[in-house]
Structure 1
Amino acid sequence: MIKIAVSGKGGVGKTTFAGTLARLLTGEGYDVLAIDADPSMNLASSLGITNQPRPLTDYKELIDERAGGMDGMFKINPKVDDITERFGVVGPDGVKLLTMGTVVRGGGGCMCPASSFLKAFLRHVILKDTSAVIIDMEAGIEHLGRGITRGINLMIIIVEPGTRSIQTAQRVIELGREIGIKHFAAVINKSKDSAPIKKRLSELNIRIIGSIPYDPVLVEADINGLAPIDVGGKAVESIKKIKDGILDRYAPDKH
């Protein structure tokens, strides 16, 4: 089953892309689980879900029960196989959403029950869950570890014209390769002339799987609290083409 992580610099449109892709995959017959792993927690609106689920990190008693231990120790492999059923919210087209929440980190990162719990949950849905999984991530990929990256078919980096966005893409790929992710691709967003950024990404050997034009329809949809896929437009049509290309390459038996 296809598992895709979506990353990129804040504000580039990755949540719009992730939510629209998740809804489109349900139309292809997939049982889709969308995971909001970005602290901004905006994936619900992109999916058309109005009842935002509580982040998993809010369930402190459950986390302590499942991942906590004696004398400050914690369990590396807490029970998580019932989490989607218990805490997932079902949205339009049957897409399921889970919001991970954030873990407060100390100077050297966080090794704590909450971090262990979230990593165990991701490991389960990526390696064992039979759903198609779309993960909306921030540019950092600390939720992912070596033990689960083998289950990710593709990491998509959303890139917009601008040096910082391209630098973020480079960094995401570097970090991803360090933990064993094998397949990366870029989607160019909000570009009126994609030739210059295509040239730059090509120079960096970053594969491009599509471009999404700037579309004022998306701004109107956001103002009205509507999911992009429910209003359509040029951007959504472009994401449909990207979805087709992804399925042709990574799930040819389903397409």
Structure 2
Amino acid sequence: MKIAITGKGGVGKTTLAGLLARSLAADNLRVLAVDADPDANLAAAVGVRAGSPQPLPFSKLTELAKSRTGADQNSGGLFKLNPRVDDLPQQFWLEHQGVRVLKMGTVDHAGSGCVCPEHTLVRSLMRHLLLDRDEVVIMDMEAGIEHLGRGTADAVDLLVVVVEPGSRSVQTALQVEQLAQQLAIARVGFVASKVGGPEDLAFIRRALGEQRTLLGQLSWSDALRRADKAAQSPFDFSGPFIDEVNAIKRALLERMPTHEEAGHV
């Protein structure tokens, strides 16, 4: 089961990703939480404390990227575009409460459009995680999903778009939905976040329209704020969002493809 979570920055997608990862792990499922948003900290949302060892971003592992792509052996600038990566996740993930966390990081390019060993390593690893692994994969994405690319995007079983009660958030969500269609992602669902009451939820329902699937909601609460300030997982706090994320989990599991529809778990 491969789930990608996206939405406008600040809407709470990392909070949702962390809660879902912990909730699924509590069901004794093998869960791999992948931080693919350079501005996010999924490890903290899963519950990894500040000051504890943190997952290393693959984009910064320059020597590893050069070694795996052969760039360290070729002075002409040529390197492999399909390096071996299947042994890397278990070497670099950080495990907490049954969730294994990996961090992709971001690649700093000297020029636009640059394809470097680090970028190649990250891209190959993303493809491996989506196509070849049999864990539950929860991927916390940037607002856009272009970096999934054709050939990997269609391996996503469900794209979850997080939207808060606001016109700009809704606009971003609908743009992401259009991009998902272009990348042949068959299943798209929405989650209402930072819901302060019935009016907020009604606004989001109207903005999305009846033809779109609303998987559930996350109400904003003092407990979520305390968890955010403490850089801790909300899953370790008590609040209505625990029941809400469990309801979202059940809704997305109901929308997973059957084995006949997909070639992976």
TM-score by length of 2: 0.89
Q: Give the percent of matched residue pairs that are identical in Structure 1 and Structure 2.
A: 42
Counterpart of 2:139?
135
Q: CA deviation at 1:117?
A: 1.1
Tell me the secondary structure at the aligned position of residue 186 of structure 1: strand
Counterpart of 1:233?
239
- Give the partner amino acid of 1:173: E
Counterpart of 2:255?
249
Distance of 1:104 and 1:114 partners within structure 2: 9
Q: CA RMSD in A?
A: 1.8
Q: CA deviation at 1:251?
A: 6.8
Counterpart of 2:227?
221
How many matched pairs?
250
TM-score by length of 1: 0.92
Counterpart of 2:31?
32
- Is residue 113 of structure 2 the alignment partner of residue 112 of structure 1? no
- Is residue 77 of structure 2 the alignment partner of residue 78 of structure 1? no
Distance of 1:139 and 1:29 partners within structure 2: 30
Q: CA deviation at 1:20?
A: 0.6
The correspondence for 1:186, drawn from 165, 190, 195, is 190
Q: 1:17-42: CA deviations, max 9, x gaps? A: 00110111112221000000011231
List gaps (5 residues or longer) in structure 2.
260-265
Distance of 1:6 and 1:200 partners within structure 2: 19
CA contact (8 A) 2:157 2:257 kept: no
Distance of 1:107 and 1:80 partners within structure 2: 26
The correspondence for 2:96, drawn from 85, 91, 94, is 91
Q: CA deviation at 1:107?
A: 5.9
Q: CA deviation at 1:240?
A: 0.8
Sort the Cα spacing of 1:222 and 1:115 in 2 relative to 1 into closer, same or farther, 3 A.
same
Distance of 2:216 and 2:14 partners within structure 1: 16
The correspondence for 1:156, drawn from 138, 147, 160, is 160
CA contact (8 A) 2:48 2:232 kept: no
CA contact (8 A) 1:118 1:143 kept: no
The correspondence for 1:62, drawn from 61, 64, 68, is 64
Distance of 1:21 and 1:182 partners within structure 2: 21
